[in-house]
């Protein structure tokens, strides 16, 4: 009973925040609403016992996306006044209303016609999980049963980073992303950026390793590492690397490369692309996860840092 009341309160708050994020005229306020929405949504996932999804939603949906949007807003500040002065006509409003209502109605209809009980592969996963050697079914699905999806996801992230980089002006190509952050070296931010990363790194490694048998894994871990890196960058304790640095580029592609190599190996050792021979499943999954960690960390951190914006000397 109390559980239902809490669920209802969360859902109502979630809806209110969603409306707020859409109707707020000030972009910064809208993002504040969106971040709160993401954090609340992760609470919903916890209540649905989807702890893995909750961790990812809090880290990526609330944290990383929120930080990216704030960066975008500060860049758009100059144009915001002009955008606010613009008024669209009544016809556009009616069209937008009809379109939104149509999409909402279609989605609601889809949810209502879902078969009950829903078709599920969960029993098969539970039955065959032992073959993979991992205890967390989410990790098992991501890296064994649906490994192709995870591989493509990692590649998409790398392509997204290339897309961001390609926004750089010609003369800055190969330079350093973003502005050099200047902060008081004795200030609270520098202190924070010295104190937190060691803890964060330990925690990230724990989440990474625990991901085999408990909620967690490379994605959540990489987000924490990227956040620590960003903190150090923002405190001015370190500079972003030049994007033509060989080691950096290797770190970015190593995950997908190792994943593909092991996948091709599966063709010969287990008879199918991305298949693992049973006795080697666990070690191979660990190798793939370890290789994906630097890729994800670097890509997430560099996506946040943005396009190369200055030449930057040295290596």
Nearer to other proteins, 121 or 195 (CB): 195
Nearer to other proteins, 47 or 194 (CB): 194
Instruction: Please answer whether residues 248 and 284 qualify as being in contact, where contact means their C-beta atoms are separated by less than 8 angstroms.
Output: no
Give me the least distance between CB of 75 and other proteins, in Å please: 18
Give me the least distance between CB of 192 and other proteins, in Å please: 4
Give me the least distance between CB of 169 and other proteins, in Å please: 30
Q: How far apart are CA 60 and CA 208, in angstroms?
A: 16
Instruction: Please answer whether residues 221 and 207 qualify as being in contact, where contact means their C-beta atoms are separated by less than 8 angstroms.
Output: yes
Q: How far apart are CA 45 and CA 190, in angstroms?
A: 34
Give me the least distance between CB of 196 and other proteins, in Å please: 7
Span interacting with other proteins, options 39-47, 54-62, 181-189, 277-285, rule CB under 8 A: 181-189
Residue of 256, 252, 244 whose CA lies nearest to 302: 252
Nearer to other proteins, 44 or 189 (CB): 189
∠ CA 291-293-298, rounded to 5°: 115
What is the torsional sign of CA 206, 212, 215, 221? positive
Nearer to other proteins, 95 or 195 (CB): 195
Instruction: Please answer whether residues 76 and 27 qualify as being in contact, where contact means their C-beta atoms are separated by less than 8 angstroms.
Output: yes
Give me the least distance between CB of 188 and other proteins, in Å please: 4
Nearer to other proteins, 169 or 187 (CB): 187
Determine the size of the site formed for other proteins (CB under 8 A). Answer: 8
Give me the least distance between CB of 68 and other proteins, in Å please: 19
Residue 16 binds to other proteins (criterion: CB under 8 A): no
Nearer to other proteins, 35 or 243 (CB): 35
Residues 197-226 that bind other proteins (CB under 8 A): 199
Tally of CB atoms within 10 A around 213: 11
Residues 182-201 that bind other proteins (CB under 8 A): 187-189, 191-192, 195-196, 199
Nearer to other proteins, 156 or 199 (CB): 199
Give me the least distance between CB of 184 and other proteins, in Å please: 9
Site string for other proteins, 104-123 (x = CB under 8 A): --------------------
Nearer to other proteins, 231 or 290 (CB): 231
Q: Which residues bind other proteins (CB under 8 A)?
A: 187-189, 191-192, 195-196, 199
């Amino acid at each position: 009973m109390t559980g239902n009341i809490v669920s209802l309160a969360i859902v109502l708050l979630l809806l209110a925040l969603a409306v707020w994020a859409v109707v707020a005229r000030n972009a910064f306020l809208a993002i504040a609403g969106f971040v709160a929405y993401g954090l609340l949504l992760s609470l919903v996932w916890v209540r649905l016992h989807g702890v893995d999804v909750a961790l990812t939603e809090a880290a990526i949906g609330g944290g990383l996306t929120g930080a990216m949007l704030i960066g975008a807003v500060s860049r758009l500040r100059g144009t915001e006044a002009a955008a606010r002065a613009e008024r669209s006509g009544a016809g556009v409003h009616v069209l937008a209303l009809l379109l939104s209502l149509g999409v909402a109605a279609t989605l609601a209809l889809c949810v209502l016609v879902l078969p009950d009980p829903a078709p599920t592969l969960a029993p098969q996963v539970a039955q065959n999980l032992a073959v993979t050697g991992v205890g967390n079914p989410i990790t098992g699905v991501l890296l064994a049963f649906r490994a192709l999806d995870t591989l493509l996801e990692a590649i998409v992230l790398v392509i997204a980073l290339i897309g961001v980089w390609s926004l750089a002006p010609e003369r800055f190509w190969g330079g350093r992303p973003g502005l050099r952050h200047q902060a008081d070296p004795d200030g609270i931010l520098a202190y924070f950026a010295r104190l937190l990363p060691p803890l964060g790194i330990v925690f990230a490694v724990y989440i990474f390793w625990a991901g085999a048998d408990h909620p967690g894994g490379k994605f959540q871990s990489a987000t924490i590492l990227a956040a620590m890196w960003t903190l150090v960058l923002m405190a001015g304790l370190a500079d972003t690397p030049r994007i033509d640095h060989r080691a950096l580029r290797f770190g970015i592609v190593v995950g997908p490369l190792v994943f593909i190599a092991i996948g091709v190996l599966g063709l010969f050792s287990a008879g199918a692309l991305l298949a693992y021979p049973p006795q080697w499943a666990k070690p191979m999954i660990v190798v793939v996860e370890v290789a994906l960690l630097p890729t994800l960390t670097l890509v997430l951190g560099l996506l946040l840092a943005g396009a190369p914006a200055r030449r930057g000397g040295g290596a």
